[in-house]
């Protein structure tokens, strides 16, 4: 496969391994010219060697939710943590907001841990029993759990990233886009009250990566009820929910560095929506990249070696590569 990478400044192509294997080979780092802005590395420098093993703390309760919805798996690197602790990525599974489990995205979680990044793979409440924004509040609860458990797992709560695919990708970019909005806007996408003390416990999102994410519900037919199981009704019936749940409605210049990837042949979540979202981010001045995986549909993109490499390379660059400021 050849993955096309669109960035804020130009378009490049990266050659990758072909075939859908369970685990990708290590790929070269993303070229330093692939973005307009430098990236801050994790606090404290560290030379990492590939981890020989990853340990997993399974079924850790991270929220007040009962049953599996409130559980996460913590993937821990074998390498020693940097001086300020491991960077951490909250990993969010897909499944149309109505199905799925943290185990389904375990390959990505393990690959991140092998890079020296703690991966916290979460479950969350599912539709139609639980309508939006319950799912988003569960991701917020996971972020607070990371902050509270930073000492226990040697985490750097100032280096928190989000990653998800499909519905999980949507939740990732939505939460990242909302993070710098007004309290009123954020509360419209939450069941927490404006005065809830938990808002002040949320760590800052350093970076976000999303694959195949639905990015904009605002243009859906006004009386179409296809999303009612998740958003509670049609767009006519629930106009505020459709806006609140649309990442594209909340793009602003202070959003974190973003890596998007999408299958060219995705018929379930069309590529055009992610392209439009990427363009709006670039126009807002956000460091945003889009990797298009040729000819692949929604599910084949999820298990593509190119997708694995895109995610690992992005977080490696953000968390571990030093800042490089071009000469003036």
Question: What are the sequence ranges of the domains in the chain?
Answer: 2-8+48-320
Which tens digit of pLDDT belongs to each residue from 258-315?
Answer: 999 999 999 999 999 999 999 999 999 999 999 999 999 999 999 999 999 999 999 9
User: Which DSSP string do the residues of 142-163 spell out, in sequence order?
Assistant: HHHHHHHTHHHHTEEEEEEEEE
Tokens of 86: 């491991």
Q: What's the CA gap between 211 and 176, in Å, rounded?
A: 14
Q: Which of 108, 36, 143, 31 is nearest to 306 (CA)?
A: 108
User: Is residue 27 packed enough to be buried (19+ CB in 10 Å), middle (13-18) or exposed (0-12)?
Assistant: middle
Which tens digit of pLDDT belongs to each residue from 273-285?
Answer: 999 999 999 999 9
Quick one: CA dihedral 32, 36, 37, 39, positive or negative?
Answer: negative
Residue pair 2/264 in contact (Cβ under 8 Å)? The answer is no
Please say if the pLDDT value at position 47 is more than 70.
no
The CATH T-level fold of domain 2-8+48-320 is Rossmann fold (3.40.50)
52: confidence class by pLDDT, cuts 50, 70, 90 = low
Q: Which of 58, 169, 170 is nearest to 120 (CA)?
A: 58
């Amino acid at each position: 496969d050849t993955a096309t990478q669109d960035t804020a400044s130009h378009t490049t192509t990266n050659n990758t391994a072909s075939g859908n294997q369970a685990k990708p080979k290590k790929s070269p780092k993303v070229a330093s010219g692939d973005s307009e802005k430098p990236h801050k590395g994790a606090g404290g420098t560290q030379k990492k060697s590939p981890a020989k093993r990853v340990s997993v703390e399974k079924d850790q309760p991270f929220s007040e939710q009962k049953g599996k919805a409130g559980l996460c798996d913590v993937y821990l690197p074998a390498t020693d943590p940097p001086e300020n602790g491991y960077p951490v990525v909250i990993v969010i599974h897909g499944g149309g907001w109505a199905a799925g489990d943290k185990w389904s995205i375990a390959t990505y979680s393990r690959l991140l841990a092998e890079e020296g990044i703690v991966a916290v793979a979460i479950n969350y409440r599912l539709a139609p029993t639980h309508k939006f924004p319950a799912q988003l509040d569960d991701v917020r609860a996971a972020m607070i759990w990371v902050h509270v458990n930073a000492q226990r797992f040697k985490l750097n709560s100032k280096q928190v990233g989000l990653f998800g695919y499909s519905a999980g990708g949507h939740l990732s970019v939505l939460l990242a886009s909302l993070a710098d909005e007004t309290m009123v806007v954020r509360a419209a996408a939450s069941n927490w009250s404006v005065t809830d003390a938990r808002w002040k416990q949320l760590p800052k999102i350093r970076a976000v990566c999303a694959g195949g994410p639905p990015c904009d519900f605002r243009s859906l037919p006004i009386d179409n009820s296809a999303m009612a199981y998740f958003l509670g009704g049609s767009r006519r019936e629930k106009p505020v929910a459709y806006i609140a749940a649309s990442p594209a409605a909340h793009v602003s210049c202070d959003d974190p560095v973003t890596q998007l990837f999408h299958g060219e042949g995705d018929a379930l979540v069309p590529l055009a929506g992610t392209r439009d979202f990427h363009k709006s981010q670039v126009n807002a001045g956000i460091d945003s990249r889009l990797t298009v995986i040729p000819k692949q549909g929604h599910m084949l993109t999820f298990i593509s070696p190119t997708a694995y490499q895109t995610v690992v390379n992005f977080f490696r660059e953000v968390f571990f590569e030093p800042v490089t400021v071009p000469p003036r």
